[in-house]
A and B are shown apart, each in its own frame.
Chain A
Amino acid sequence: MKDSIRTLKENFFTGFVFVSGLITLGFLAAALGLVTFKGFRAVSPAFLFTAMREGGVSGGILYQIAGTVILALTTLSIVLPIAWGVALLRSVYIPNTALRQGLSFFLYTLNGIPSILFGIFGFFLFVKGLGWGKSWLTGGILLAMMILPAVAMNLSEGMDRIPKDYIENARALGLSRSQLIWSVLAPQSFSSFMSGLLLGLGRAAGETAPVIFTATVFAGAFIPKGITDNPVLSLPYHIFNLAQESYQPQALQNAWGSAFVLIAMVFFFNLAQLPFRLRFHEEAEAA
C-alpha cells in the first residue's frame, strides 16, 4: 500500500514537472511561431532597407532598425563601465556581508521597477527638467538604468563564482587589488558579463515604455545629428503604432514584419551570449 502511494506521488510529481515545461515551451513556441508565420511573409530586402511611407502602411523599416541599433549601442556604452563599477564594488570593495546583501537587494529592487516608471522619470528629468526634448541619448540612459541591475548582478555573481584559489594565489604572488581585478577577476568573469550584457540588450531592444515619452517618435526622424531634440524611430514603438492601425491589412502585415525583425534581433542577442556562457561552464569545470 505504502509503495503504491509512493509510486503515485512519484508519477504525479514527474507529470507535473513535464506539464510545467510543456506549458512554458508551448507559449514560447506559439508566440515565436505566430510572429514567424505572419511576419516572415512581410520581410523583404525592400522592407529592411527603405524608409517607411504613408505612416508605415507602406515602405520599410530602415530607420526603425537604425534607431533600435542606436539605442542599443548607446545603452551598451553607458551600461558597460557602470556595471563593472557596481559589480566590483559589490564583489571586491565591500567586505561587509550585510552591506553586500544590501546592495544586492537594492539592485534586485531596481530590476523589478516597471519600465514605464523609468519612462516617466526620464521624461521629467531629461525631457522637461534638463530641456533635452526627445533624444536618443535619454533613451540610451534610461534603457541602461533599466538593464544595469541585471547586467551588474550577473557580472558580480560571475565574480563570486571565480575559484577562491585564483584570487588567493594572485594575492600571495603580490598582485595589488587593481592588478588582481585586471588579471583575474575581469578575464574570469568576462563570459558572465557578456551573457548578462547581451541578455540585457535583448530586453532593452524590445522595450517601448521607457523610450515612448523620451526618445522615440513615430515618424519624421532619421539618423540623429545632435543630442537634444534628436529622437529616433524604434521598432517597438513602430509595432505599437501599426497595431493601432491594424484595421488596415497592409499596416497589420507590416506590424507582423516589424515584430519578426525585432524578435530576430533579440534572438540574435540571446544566441550571441551562448558561447560566452558555455565558455564559462567549461572554465569552471576545468578549474
Chain B
Amino acid sequence: MKNVILSVRSLEVRTLSRAILGGVSFELQESELVSVVGPSGSGKSTLLRALNRLAGETPGLMVSGEVLYHGQNIFSCCRVHELRKNIGMLFQKPCVYPGSILRNVLFGVKHHQKLNAKLAADISERSLRKAHLWEEVKDRLHHPAFELSMGQKQRLCFARLLAVDPEILLLDEPTANLDPHSTLEIEKTLMELKDSKSIILVTHLLSQARRLSDRVIMISAASGTGIIVEDGSAAEFFENPKALETQAYLKS
C-alpha cells in the first residue's frame, strides 16, 4: 500500500452565483498518475487550480473544504509560494518568457535554490532530457525561446517545471494543442516520471488516459456543478464503468 500524499475532502469552488465544483473528495498516492476526465466545463481545470491555490487567488472565486498535503491543510499550513514549489502546474497553453531557452528552463528553480554555473548546467540538461527536448535544443540553449515550435515550447515549459522538482505535478491538458510527435514525447516523459512523482493529469483524450493512468476520475456537471461520478483503477474505469455518466461519456 502506497502512502497517501494528497487528500482532497469536500472541496468546493464557487462564484457568488453558482458552485463550479461541489463536494469533491479523492486521494492521490505517491508515484501514482491519476487522470481526470469529463466534459468541457465540468470543472476539471478549476480542480487543478484549487489544488495549488491558484483558484483562491482568482477574483470572484471562493474555495472551501480541505486539501491535505502530507496531512496538512494547504489553505492554512504554509506560504503559498512554498506550497507551489512542491505542487507544480503545467498549463494547456505553453507560455515561454522573453529570453533564451536556458533562461526559461532556470526561470523557476533559480528562485528556490542558489545556482552556480555547474549546477545550473546540470539542472538544465537533466530537465530538458526528462522533457525529451535536450537533443533538439542542446546546441542552441542561448537562442530565444520564442523560436521554438508550439510542441517544443510546451516541452520547454515542462522542463521548466521539472527543474523546480515538485513532488506533485498538476497537468492541465498538456498535449491539447500539440502535434502527434510532441504529444508522444510528453507521454514518454509522463511514463518515466510515474515512478518518482505523483501526477494529476486533466485530459480530453480517453486513449491517453487509458495509456498512462493508474486511476481515472470522471467529473460530470450534469446538475450544473462539477462532482466526481466515478473514481477507479484505469482497468475498471474503461472496462466496467459504474456511473451512467461515465458509460455515456465513454461511448461519446
Contacts and interface: CB of A to CB of B under 8 A. Distances in A.
B91 A165 contact: yes
Interface residues of A, number: 23
Interface string B82-105: 111110111101010110000000
Contact of A172 (B88, B97, B112): B88
A174 B107 contact: no
Q: Kindly state the interface size class of chain B when it binds its partner.
A: 20 to 34
A168 interface: yes
A270 to B, nearest CB: 25
B50 interface: no
A172 B164 CA distance: 11
A177 B52 CA distance: 15
Contacts, number: 67
Contact of B59 (A95, A168, A174, A183): A95
A175 B81 contact: yes
Contacts of A179: 81, 111
A159 B177 CA distance: 28
A109 interface: no
Interface string B106-119: 01100110000000
Give the 7 A-B residue pairs with the shortest CB-CB distance, closest first.
A173-B108, A174-B85, A165-B95, A174-B84, A172-B89, A176-B81, A169-B95
Interface of A: 95, 97, 163, 165-166, 168-177, 179, 183-184, 187-188, 283, 286-287
Given A171-B57, A173-B161, A179-B111, 16 more contacts: A163-B95, A165-B93, A168-B95, A169-B91, A169-B157, A170-B108, A173-B85, A173-B108, A174-B81, A174-B83, A174-B84, A174-B85, A175-B81, A175-B111, A177-B81, A188-B98
Interface of B: 52, 54, 57, 59, 79, 81-86, 88-91, 93, 95, 97-98, 107-108, 111-112, 146, 157, 160-161, 164, 166
